[in-house]
Each structure stands twice: as C-alpha cells, then as structure tokens.
Amino acid sequence: MSNLKNYSRRRFLAQSGLGLIAFAGMPGFLRAMEGMQAMPKLTPNKANPNFKPDVEFDLFCRPGAVSILPGQQTQVQQYAALLKKGPKETLIDIPGSYLGPLIHLQKGQKVRINLHNKLTEPTVAHWHGMHVPANMDGHPMYAIDPGASLVYEFEVLNRAGMNIYHPHPHEATAKQVYHGLAGALFVHDEEEAKLELPGGEFEIPIVIQDRLFDEHNQLIYVRNMHDRMTGFYGDHILVNGRPNFQIDVASRAYRLRVLNGSNARIYKLGWDDGTPITVIGVDGGLLEQPEVRPYVMLAPGERLDVWADFSGRNEGSQLVMRSLPFSGVLPKMAERMGGMMHANSLPVGSDYPIFTARVTKKVSDSPKLPSQLSKINRYQISDTANPDKPVPIGISEGPMAMLLNSRPYAYNDVQDFERIKVNTIQLMEIFHAHGGGGGHGKESAPATGEHGAEKQSGGMGHQGGGMGMMGMMGMGHQGGGMGMMGGMKHGSDDPKGGGSGMGMMMSMAHPIHLHGQQFQIVSRSISADKEADYATVRDGFIESGLKDVVLVMPGEKVRIIKPFQDFKGLFMYHCHNLEHEDMGMMRDFLVE
Ligand code: C2O
Ligand code: CU
Ligand code: CU
C-alpha cells in the first residue's frame, strides 16, 4: 500500500510538473499527499439481465485517420457507434468527421450503451450534463483497459437539451478529447416537441474546436508547462471537425445547436454584421423566454441553442459567426510570455471567423420564434439546505499548479464540506481562493504582482526562476492552511503577500463544471480592479437557464444553487479547461 502511495505521489509530482525544489518547499502539501490513494481499478460493469432497454448501442473508441486539411490524412481517436435496438434516428453520423455520431435520446427511455475500448490506453466515457447514477457517470475509477468493455445502463431523466459525451480517464481526458474523442448527445421531450422548433435539415449542430497541426497535418499537443498552465490552444478553428466551415441556408429560421468542444479556448460569439444573437437555450436545455444579446460567451463544455433567422436575406448574401475581441481571461504574464514561448497566430480574445452561413435559397415562409419556450423549476436560497454556509469551490492558482479548494485531485480524498446529503438543494460559491482578487479587494497591495513580472520580461531565465519560487511559496502556504476554510479565504490577506502576488500573476478565467444535475446561477460579482476586462465579456453571460458549466472570470465570485437528487456516490467537480482538469483541478463530491 505504501508503495502504491509513493508511486501515486511521485506520479502526481512528475505530471504536475512540480520539481524537486518545489518538493522540498511544501511539507504541508506533502502531508496532505500522504493520505492520498491511487485510483482503484474496478471490474467493468456487465449487462443487467433485468434491465430492459428501449435503446441499445455499441460505442467503440478507436484510432482512425480522417482528412481535415488538404493533403495528408490526420491520425485521430474517435467514437463510432452501432445501433442494436431502438429508433434508427438514435444515431446520426457526421460524415467524414472525427467527431462521434450525434446521439438522440428521448426523455424516459431506458438506454444501454456497450463501450468497447479499441485504443491502446485506458479510457471511460462520461455523459456530460446527464443526470445518471454515479456508477454510470464515467468517473475515472471506471476506466477500462484496451480490449475491455463496459456496460452503461440508465434511464433518461434529463429535460430536453444538448449534452456531451467524452472520455474521462485519470490524467488523460484532455489528450483523448483533443485527439478526437467527443460527441453531442441530445435529449428530447414533449415540452420541446410542442414548440415545433426548426428540425431536420433546419437544425444544425455546431461543435467548435481549435487544433494545432504540424507540417504533415498531424495534431500537435502540449509541448511544455506553459501549454498546461494556460490550457492548450490551436490555431485552426474547426466546426464539426472541418476547417472553414460553411452552411448553405434558406432565408428562414434555423436552430443552431452550438457546443464549445475545445480544450481551453473561450469564444465570444457574434454575427459579423452586428445582428444580435437570439439564444433559446443553454447547457441544461431551453430558456423560459428567448434572450437577445449583442454577443454570447462560450467556454469549454458550454452549449448554446441559437435561433438564427435568415428571413428577408437575399440569395447570395452571407453571415459570418465570429469570435469578437475581449480581454482578461488569460494571466497577464502568460499573455506576454505566450508570444515568446510559442507564437499562436490566433490569440485568445482576438477577432476571427468561426463559420459562414450562405443564403442559397429564397423562401417566403419561416417558423416564428415562440415567446414562451419552457418552464424551469427554480429554487430560492431559502430552499437550500445551507442558506448561510455555501459549499466552497475555491479556485487556487499558482504558476505550477491549478487546484480546487487547495487540493489536487485524489481518489477518496473527500473533505467534510465535500460530503453532500442526497436529495438536498445546495447553495455553492465559486471564488478565487488564493490571490487573483476573489472579490476580496486586496489585490493592489503586494509588490510582487503583474508589474513586477512586467519589469522582468526581458529575461526568460529570470522569470522561470521566479515562478518556481513563487510556486513553492504558494503551495507551502496552501498546504499549511490545509484544514482549512480559513487558510483559503484569507489567502489574499497574507501579510507576506506571497500567495496573493503569485495568485494574481496567474489569475485567469476557469470554466467550472459540476457533474450531475444542472444548477441555477444566483449571482455574480466582480472585484473593482477587474471591471475593465469584465466589461468586454459581461453582456455575453446568460444566467436565466440551467447550467452545468460556468465561466468564472479573474476576480469574480459566482453563487449557484444545485440539486443533488436521486443518486448517491461520487460526482466530480472540475475545471473544464481540460489541461487544468488533468493537472488535478478536480475534486469529488460524495453524495450520501
Ligand atoms: Cu465534461 Cu467531468 O466533464
Ligand atoms: Cu461532466
Ligand atoms: Cu481552470
């Protein structure tokens, strides 16, 4: 057992890039590591003969090769599916794409999915957004070896909406998603059907991803620590696995089902001619009423249901969906260093096209946008089990580690505040625990902040050294406070300023995702010194719908209300910047 522990500790240190120097500098942190357990290996679940599925299909994870750029094919990993039982519309392939088939399920269906691992590494599939039992949720402890199979059985309890299926193996989620393992999973219900929204050819999935290719059209992935700390960014925007994506449309209304399937890239979506975006749904399905916005922010893992009406447009005209300029989502230091470490011709927050809609047919008739879309069961703070004591989700940022609630991911490392009583509604607060503002308003105090880094920008070596040191201070500090809501919350009050200086330098936006049922956003607040950057994104956040990912900007504090109904067991919460997730910016809630 102690060998196992040592192994997992060494492995953690190696993978998170913590060197020997940092090792020596953080006794508290290591003490916490001592109790940590390796991910268990479980016997894969088999089919239950008493479960009578309405829908059953095989889902294969396998290597493949597809044409993405002109010339050589690209080696990828992909999902492929084979329907064994149920309506044939359940599975719809996206021809020529590495993306998995679109899965269409009906609320109330009983579904069996046989996952077959044809890769050369362990994997497991997670149904992001779906409310399923813990042992069907694709927790990394259920990962299966090459050649093995895993059976999922669940009933569709979700309301209509767009969900995601993607791998979730320990420390390898980002890499597998990047190489192609992802797909969209739609749930349909009666409430949606009654609206008669545009369907068939008038309902179009838009899965946005960015990728980086070498000169042989092969995917390039994480090259250095910097790629992990900021998340990995490509310089080609792909939609449904295609560059320069175009759709041909008639002059009528369409329903665009948009998913940000990128590992780290955040988009600010807007039409190029200034037409506002009409949003009818988000992660957890339809809004109650449509919302019209000048632009909409879309972070990794987030979904948007867009009403795109091309009525009245002339044949031959076109409309381009762009990502519009914004600022503040990356650490200022990284923004500057980014240029030196590797040039990306498509900086986050710059202005670039995503896809083009060309009007190729003039028609006179179009469906009308319903003014009332759905009814959402909303909770009040007084409905929560903990109105005065929100469950903390503290974002801890350092140059060598991104964590949640100051602890790296470890199996069975559930803290008291991470135990949740089943069938309760919980108030939760996501905040920047360590430096980075966090709404504590102390940011201007320490001298080791962004300005300090700026002055050093001439010497890379110098910066590197400084980062290591500050990483050490930050980690040791977190370790010491390990107990420890106090330690976390008061990080920015530290008179030494080590923690807050470090946190501030690394402060960036994190798309925080919670497994299980969707949540409501109750309030957002931003620290005064971050308001200028925040103004470039603020109108793009939609709070009226149900969410399972929320983008938390530097200096921002977000309160949410989330139900934990029906199922006991481990449900993860993590950053959906997938590089952060794999670095350990992930924890479990134990619902009991
Ligand atoms: Cu889409 Cu645990 O994630
Ligand atoms: Cu998820
Ligand atoms: Cu993150």
Q: How far is the CA of 237 from the centre of ligand 1 (A)?
A: 22
Q: Taken in order 433, 436, 439, 442, is the CA torsion positive or negative?
A: positive
* pLDDT tens track for 374-407: 999 999 999 999 999 999 999 999 877 899 999 9
For 12-65, give the DSSP string. HHHHTT--HHHHHT-HHHHHHHHT-BPPP--PPP---TT---SEEEEEEEEEEE
Q: How far is the CA of 75 from the centre of ligand 2 (A)?
A: 26
Ligand 1 atom at minimal distance to the Cα of residue 164? 1
List strand residue ranges (DSSP E) for 212-263, in order.
236-239, 242-243, 245-250, 253-260
Span 236-256, average pLDDT:
98
Ligand 1 site residues (CB inside 6 A) read: 126, 128, 164, 166, 168, 301, 513, 515, 572, 574, 576
Spatial separation of the C-alpha atoms in residues 199 and 202, rounded to whole Å? 5
Cβ atoms of residues 181 and 167 within 8 Å = yes
Give the ligand whose atoms come closest to the C-alpha of residue 329: 3
Burial 86-105 (b: 16+ CB within 10 A, else e): beeebbeebeebbbbbbbbb
Respond yes or no on whether the N-terminal peptide bond of residue 460 is cis (omega within 30° of 0).
no
Q: Which residues face 564 on adjacent strands?
A: 424
Spatial separation of the C-alpha atoms in residues 581 and 14, rounded to whole Å? 16
SS3 170: coil
Q: Tell me the backbone φ, ψ of residue 469, rounded to 5 degrees.
A: -60, -45
Spatial separation of the C-alpha atoms in residues 581 and 9, rounded to whole Å? 17
* pLDDT tens track for 21-50: 343 334 344 445 555 788 998 999 999 999
Ligand 1 atom at minimal distance to the Cα of residue 138? 2
Task: Name the strands in the sheet holding 277-282, side by side, starting at the edge strand that comes first in the sequence.
Answer: 242-243, 236-239, 203-211, 253-260, 303-309, 277-282, 285-293
* pLDDT tens track for 415-465: 999 999 999 999 999 999 864 333 333 332 222 233 323 232 222 222 222
Closest alpha carbon to 90 in 100, 99, 98, 76: 100
Cβ atoms of residues 327 and 244 within 8 Å = no
Ligand 1 atom at minimal distance to the Cα of residue 574? 2
Q: How far is the CA of 77 from the centre of ligand 1 (A)?
A: 18
Q: Taken in order 23, 26, 31, 33, is the CA torsion positive or negative?
A: negative
Span 554-582, average pLDDT:
98
Q: How far is the CA of 577 from the centre of ligand 3 (A)?
A: 5
Spatial separation of the C-alpha atoms in residues 509 and 489, rounded to whole Å? 18
Q: How far is the CA of 435 from the centre of ligand 1 (A)?
A: 26
Model's pTM, two decimal places? 0.86
Cβ atoms of residues 455 and 447 within 8 Å = no
Mean residue pLDDT of the chain comes to: 85
Task: Identify the residue whose C-alpha is closest to ligand 1 atom 1.
Answer: 128
Identify the pLDDT of residue 345.
Answer: 85
> Strands 424-434 and 161-167: what pairing?
unpaired
* pLDDT tens track for 78-110: 999 999 999 999 999 999 899 999 999 999 999
Identify the pLDDT of residue 400.
Answer: 78
What 8-state DSSP symbol labels residue 136? G
Q: At residue 73, does pLDDT exceed 50?
A: yes
Give the ligand whose atoms come closest to the C-alpha of residue 553: 3
